[in-house]
C-alpha cells in the first residue's frame, strides 16, 4: 500500500491482525511509536523510531502495536507491505 501522510498527521495505535508489516519511507520523516498493552488499562510506549526517506521498519503483533506520526509540515509518503 502506498500511504500519503498529510502534514503533522498522527495515526491511531493499531495492530496488523496477525500479519507482518514492512514500512519503507519514500519521502519525508515519520516517527513510529511502538506500544505494549496494559491489561484493562491502555498502552505504554516501549520504543520509538525516526524514519527518514529511504529508511525502513518492520513490525508484527508480537513486537506490539504502533502509531505513525508525520513529523513534516508537508506530505510524507510511505510504502507498506503486509504479509
Give Cα separations from 61 to 12, 23, 75 (angstroms).
15, 14, 27
Helix (H, G, I), strand (E, B) or coil at 82: strand
Asked if residues 40 and 52 have their Cβ atoms less than 8 Å apart, the reply is no
Task: Provide the strand spans (E) within the chain.
Answer: 2-5, 21-27, 29-38, 42-52, 56-59, 65-70, 76-82
Per-residue pLDDT tens over the stretch 25-67? 999 999 999 999 998 889 999 999 999 999 999 999 999 999 9
Q: Which pLDDT score, from 0 to 100, does residue 39 have?
A: 87
Q: Which pLDDT score, from 0 to 100, does residue 40 have?
A: 85
Exposed, middle or buried: residue 14 (CB in 10 Å: 0-12, 13-18, 19+)? Answer: exposed
Amino acid at each position: 500500500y502506498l500511504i500519503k501522510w498529510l502534514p503533522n498527521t498522527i495515526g491511531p495505535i493499531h495492530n496488523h491482525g496477525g500479519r507482518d508489516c514492512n514500512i519503507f519511507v519514500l519521502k519525508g520523516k515519520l516517527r513510529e511509536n511502538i506500544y505494549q498493552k496494559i491489561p484493562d488499562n491502555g498502552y505504554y510506549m516501549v520504543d520509538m523510531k525516526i524514519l527518514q526517506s529511504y529508511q525502513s521498519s518492520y513490525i508484527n503483533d508480537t513486537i506490539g502495536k504502533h502509531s505513525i506520526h508525520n513529523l513534516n509540515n508537508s506530505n510524507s509518503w510511505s510504502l507498506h507491505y503486509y504479509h
